[in-house]
Amino acid sequence: MAYNLLKGKKGIIFGALDENSIAWKTAQRVHEEGGTFVLTNAPIAMRMGQIKELAEKTGSEIIPADATNEEDLSNLVTKSMEILGGKLDFVLHSIGMSVNVRKGRAYTDENYDFTAKGWDVSALSFHKVMQSLYKNDAMNEWGSIVALTYMAAQRTFPDYNDMADNKAYLESVARSFGYFFGKEKKVRVNTVSQSPTATTAGQGIKGFDGFINYAEKMSPLGNATAQDCADYTISLFSDLTRKVTMQNLFHDGGFSNTGVSQEVIDKF
């Protein structure tokens, strides 16, 4: 069901890879709610995914950009405002990658060149995106910027590897930049700490099936799906949450506040 929550609003969505991705489902929901947007992803990710299909379905344009490259980001921001006809109202940062995970390197045996690359893509890119938006005065007042995270930033999940450190940094950037964006531009910055979700990226983590099944048994409401996350993100883009900023918002069916569930007790 659509409510026209984003009628007339414009934005940028990073990270739509395929129909399993949260960014993809968020783009669909933005479109349903009357919003318009530019889609962007790294050139290599675009070759792997089906972003053109999403663009056609939502009447959107695509601007390739490396989120770690300041020149690419500045170009993305200025071109997006030209295409959309003005300043932006929302931005979704849905980007994450660990070379150590991809290469099978344990947390206790990191390749630090891999670590630096993963940190740049997964975490520092969020600062770079916001700095580009800030310097280009690209956001309308009461706009909303959202990044996706996971509670491995607060608790230890051994196989999440260096992505846990990246997410902790990402959440800190949201608070720090959120202060300046709020004080000076009246723009909101939040992170959504999502349940483990069966996206293409999520399934690349060792032991993911066990990971997601455990969370399902622990969460009173069960895991939040990618579609659920898209719906929640829409609420954060809307005017209904104008005074919510600098928050890490758990969207996980209650997992983050559950010590143990009866299902887990029964299992063991």
pLDDT at 205: 63
Evaluate if residue 257 carries a pLDDT over 80.
Answer: yes
Query: For residue 199, what pLDDT band results from cuts at 50, 70 and 90?
Result: confident
Distances (CA, A) of 170 to 20, 81, 173, 245: 23, 25, 5, 15
Evaluate if residue 4 carries a pLDDT over 80.
Answer: yes
How far, rounded to the nearest angstrom, does the alpha carbon of residue 245 sit from its chain's CA centroid?
15
**Rounded average pLDDT over 158-169:** 96
Instruction: Please state, rounded to an integer, the average pLDDT across all residues of the chain.
Output: 95
Give the tens place of pLDDT for each residue, 172-189.
Answer: 999 999 999 999 999 999
In the chain, DSSP assigns E strands to: 10-14, 36-40, 61-62, 88-93, 139-149, 188-194, 248-251
- How many whole angstroms separate alpha carbon 175 and alpha carbon 18? 29
Residues 6+ apart with CB under 8 A from 214: 264
- How many whole angstroms separate alpha carbon 111 and alpha carbon 141? 42
pLDDT at 204: 59
Structural domains in the chain, CATH included, are 10-266 (3.40.50.720)
Closest CA to 61 of 85, 45, 93: 85
Evaluate if residue 13 carries a pLDDT over 70.
Answer: yes
**Rounded average pLDDT over 17-35:** 97
pTM: 0.96
Strand partners, 54: none
Closest CA to 90 of 31, 49, 2: 31
pLDDT at 28: 98
Spell out a b/e string for 242-254, using b for 16 or more CB atoms within 10 Å of the CB, else e: eeebbbbbbbbbe
pLDDT at 211: 81
Give the tens place of pLDDT for each residue, 226-239.
Answer: 999 999 999 999 99
